[in-house]
Amino acid sequence: MRRRWMLAGITVAMLAGSPALGAGPERYEDAIGDSVGDAPDIVAITVSAPDDEPTMRFDVELAPGRLFGTDGETWSDVIFIGMAGNDRTDGRGLLDDGVYITGTHGITLDLQCDTGAMLLTPESLYWYVVDVDTSDDTLSFTLDRKLIDAPPDVYFQVQVGVERDLTGSNESEGEVEGDVYPELGQPPAHYRAGVLVS
């Protein structure tokens, strides 16, 4: 695992405060055509915390015509979702230590659709705890809210990009370019999910 590109990835914050178990879906639209180079372009992110389940789901819709994938040797698409229970008003955003991050890699996408994806927490890394699904141009991630300490307000950022030089033969290893929502330097998005009733 290369922690560098995991932490340089995406930041996604969700969940906030109505007294219900969960909250309905909320759609966050991104500008079209703002992806760097040939990386996938984020169209929208829909976040939901269903009333009948203690889970949270992120549906990341990508622009059509550019499949999320890899050539298995020189490049692979990556997606990361960073989450926290605060908006990081100190200027750090949600891209460094102290947040929760999940995501997948073009190389491991098929496998993680079967086994589940990782969740990086401030204390540890857990494998196979986030359900992954794909449908048309959408990548979906579903996790137990308790794994992120079930904050009633969740702030998030998402990054989709391309990782180059998978062989590690030069200095570009692990570097990611692509699209981020909200943009780097902007406040993270906010989802109000409500209090989780155990």
Which of 103-107, 140-144, 181-185 bottoms out in mean pLDDT, i.e. has the lowest? 181-185
How does residue 141 score in pLDDT terms, banded at 50, 70 and 90?
A: very high
0.85 cut: is pTM over it?
no
Mean pLDDT value of segment 83-91: 72
* Count of structural domains, the chain: 1
How does residue 171 score in pLDDT terms, banded at 50, 70 and 90?
A: low
CA-closest candidate to residue 153, choices 187, 117, 111 = 187
Residue 48 included in any domain: yes
Residue 14 has pLDDT above 90, yes or no: no
What is the model's pLDDT at position 94?
A: 66
Residue 93 included in any domain: yes
CA-closest candidate to residue 163, choices 43, 64, 71, 46 = 71
- What 3-state DSSP class applies to 112? helix
Domain encompassing residue 72:
3-192
Mean pLDDT value of segment 35-62: 92
Residue 117 included in any domain: yes
Cβ 157 vs Cβ 94: under 8 Å: yes
Residue 142 included in any domain: yes
Any idea of the CA torsion for 158, 160, 165, 170, to the nearest 10 degrees? -40
143-157 in b/e form (b: 16+ CB < 10 A) is bbbebbebbbbbbbb
- What 3-state DSSP class applies to 95? coil
How does residue 4 score in pLDDT terms, banded at 50, 70 and 90?
A: very low
Residue 50 included in any domain: yes
Residue 161 has pLDDT above 80, yes or no: yes
Residue 158 included in any domain: yes
CA-closest candidate to residue 154, choices 105, 95, 100, 97 = 100
Dihedral of CA 194/52/189/110: which sign? positive
Residue 197 included in any domain: no
What is the model's pLDDT at position 169?
A: 56
What is the model's pLDDT at position 23?
A: 76
- CATH number of the domain encompassing residue 69: 2.60.40
Residue 15 has pLDDT above 80, yes or no: no
Residue 198 included in any domain: no
Backbone angles phi, psi at 16, to 5 degrees: -145, -150
With a CB cutoff of 8 Å and minimum separation 6, the contacts of 11 are 80, 81, 82, 83, 84, 93, 94, 95, 99, 101, 155, 156, 157, 158, 159, 188
